[in-house]
Structure 1
């Protein structure tokens, strides 16, 4: 196509710094009470709650091959 060369752009220093920080995040990570609590919540408690809800509602609703007037709950 005709026109200017659009591939030449000035790099934003803030975006470059953000990219560098994300690539090297593991070097600067520290276990603090906040990071330990967040890790416990996201690794243990949230999957536990979702698993409990999935286990208790397993087989309660059958959403396949329903016709008009059929009930969603099986029992």
Structure 2
């Protein structure tokens, strides 16, 4: 029973094509205005927005040792 090969199955050609496409994606990538814009948004704009909100709300809320009726805002 140990020598039987039960794991052999027919491979789906679409899954094989998808695997090949993801493996070789870097070979066919080109910088276009669309890809440059998307890269700029995700590399510069989104971290800037998150950093701005993190900086403006730094130390604004204190969640330690709060009881019922205490305020979260520490202004």
Fold shared by both chains (TM-score > 0.5): yes
What's the counterpart of residue 54 of structure 1? 54
Aligned length: 71
Q: Structure 1 stretches (4+) deviating beyond 3 angstroms? A: none
User: Where in structure 1 are there 5+ consecutive unaligned residues?
Assistant: none
User: Where in structure 2 are there 5+ consecutive unaligned residues?
Assistant: none
Task: Within 5 Å, give how 1:32-43 maps onto structure 2.
Answer: 32-43=32-43
Q: TM-score, normalised by structure 2?
A: 0.86
Q: TM-score, normalised by structure 1?
A: 0.86
Task: Within 5 Å, give how 1:55-74 maps onto structure 2.
Answer: 55-74=55-74
CA RMSD of aligned residues (A): 1.3
